[in-house]
């Protein structure tokens, strides 16, 4: 079964869906139009589905003892698109992380697999997920039971990457970092800016905490168990001549190592508390997100390499990159991968001409020719697991 050929046959179908979604980006759980589009396409294909949570879709096809889940996230970013495309976003949000591609590619995969449904000795679940960008969607869908009835045995996701040449990228082990977004609130005492002795400067205390937090990653973690800790949002005060009584620090921590993640989670509130006390202030700590790293399953990886090398042997234009570089971003598919043997693969979609912009940039451009790599990969892995030599 040559899924690369089949994917190229439906390339324009997927590009059309991608562009329709791209023009109307929606955020978080508010995906009424996007989820409606997905349901309409599944209806045309004759594929049954449910909505386990708000504006989500869980479709399935095939029957048998084994079950594989294929996942696409559907939400956009609160970023205004800066490109001049015929199908440019019509609102103030943008699909600058490629989730329009993910959704279109999973629908393309559904179209291919529906055509060979009788050959599938098992079940394929198609997970169309909201709210990945706020790291909430997968957890809610798991709580709604998407991994049960029938129980999911393996799971796959693919993600676009505008900085990598066109192809499919895979590696064993750690593929994406954990994500701990956090918030620290500093409580001081306001006063006149010319009389600082009468107050407790929350802005000053916050600046000391920001500096102090870097000690955790530079002096408390092993070189081989490193992490990145970024404080990207600091807010304090309302006027230049008022000592502020409150400050907010928001940041994120990323690492591939669970022990480092736990250590940082423990140390941030300790360090911020005692730095604040040293300057007569108080602080509180809140975790805003807690997503583990994505660790590609070793056995599934071996099967995937075998399958994708066969695809490459059949199709000389198919670009497979093994042992690729992991990504330092995170994805809440990690909640699935924590429970089920899983794979995350990257689809390189770097444009051949013009300046290259990374994901989450308002000027990011995606090479639409790369869209065939999604269904080629997902359909090949699903078919092999449910019908191939692996059985």
Question: Which residues are annotated as part of the binding site?
Answer: 97, 99, 133, 159, 360
Give φ, ψ of 372 to 5 degrees: -70, -20
| Coil/strand/helix, residue 128 | strand
Q: Binding site for Mn(2+): which residues?
A: 97, 99, 133, 159, 360
Helix H or strand E encompassing 204: helix 202-219
Cα–chain-centroid distance for residue 98?
Answer: 10
| Coil/strand/helix, residue 71 | strand
Q: What would the DSSP string read from start to end of 286-326?
A: EE---BPPEEE-HHHHHHHHHHHHHHHHH-TT--EEESPPP
Q: Among residues 74, 101, 96, 130, which one has the least CA distance to residue 14?
A: 101
How far is the C-alpha of 113 from the C-alpha of 105, rounded, in Å?
12
Q: What would the DSSP string read from start to end of 367-384?
A: -GGGGGHHHHHHHHHHHH
Angle at 234 between CA 232 and CA 238, to 5 degrees: 150
In order of 53, 77, 98, 160, 304, the CA distances from 349 in angstroms are 31, 19, 10, 6, 21
How far is the C-alpha of 18 from the C-alpha of 15, rounded, in Å?
5
Give φ, ψ of 250 to 5 degrees: -125, 140
How far is the C-alpha of 162 from the C-alpha of 56, rounded, in Å?
26
* Gyration radius of the chain over CA positions: 23
How far is the C-alpha of 74 from the C-alpha of 224, rounded, in Å?
35
């Amino acid at each position: 079964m040559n899924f690369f050929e089949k994917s190229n046959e439906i390339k324009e179908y997927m590009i059309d869906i991608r562009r329709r979604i791209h023009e109307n980006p929606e955020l978080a759980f508010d995906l009424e139009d996007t989820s409606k589009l997905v349901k309409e396409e599944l209806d045309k294909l004759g594929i049954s589905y449910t909505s386990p949570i708000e504006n989500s879709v869980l479709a399935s096809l095939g029957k048998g003892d084994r079950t594989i889940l294929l996942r696409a996230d559907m939400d956009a970013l609160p970023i205004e698109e800066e490109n001049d495309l015929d199908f440019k976003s019509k609102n103030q949000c943008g699909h600058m992380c490629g989730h329009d591609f993910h959704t279109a590619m999973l629908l393309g995969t559904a179209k291919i697999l529906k055509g060979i449904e009788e050959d599938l000795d098992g079940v394929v679940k198609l997970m169309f997920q909201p709210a990945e960008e706020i790291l909430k969607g997968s957890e809610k869908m798991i709580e709604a039971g998407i991994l049960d009835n029938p129980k999911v045995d393996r799971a796959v996701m693919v993600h676009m990457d505008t900085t990598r040449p066109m192809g499919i990228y895979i590696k064993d082990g750690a593929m994406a970092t954990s994500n701990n977004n956090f918030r620290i609130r500093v409580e001081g005492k306001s006063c006149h800016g010319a009389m600082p002795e009468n107050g407790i400067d929350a802005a000053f205390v916050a600046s000391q905490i920001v500096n102090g937090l870097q000690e955790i990653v530079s002096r408390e973690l092993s070189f081989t168990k490193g992490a990145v800790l970024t404080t990207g949002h600091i807010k304090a005060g309302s006027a230049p001549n008022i000592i502020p009584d409150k400050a907010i620090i928001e940041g994120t921590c990323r690492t591939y190592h669970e022990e480092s993640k736990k250590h940082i989670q423990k140390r941030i509130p300790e360090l911020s508390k005692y730095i604040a006390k040293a300057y007569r202030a108080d602080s509180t700590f809140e975790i805003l997100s807690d997503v583990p790293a994505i660790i590609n399953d070793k056995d599934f990886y071996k099967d995937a390499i075998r399958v994708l090398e066969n695809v490459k042997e059949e199709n000389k234009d198919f670009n497979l990159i093994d042992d690729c570089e992991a990504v330092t971003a995170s994805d809440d598919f990690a909640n699935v991968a924590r429970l089920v043997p899983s794979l995350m693969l990257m689809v390189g979609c770097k444009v051949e001409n013009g300046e290259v912009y990374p994901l989450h940039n308002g000027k990011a451009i995606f090479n639409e020719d790369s869209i065939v790599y999604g269904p080629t990969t997902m359909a090949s892995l699903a078919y092999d697991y449910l019908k191939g030599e692996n059985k």
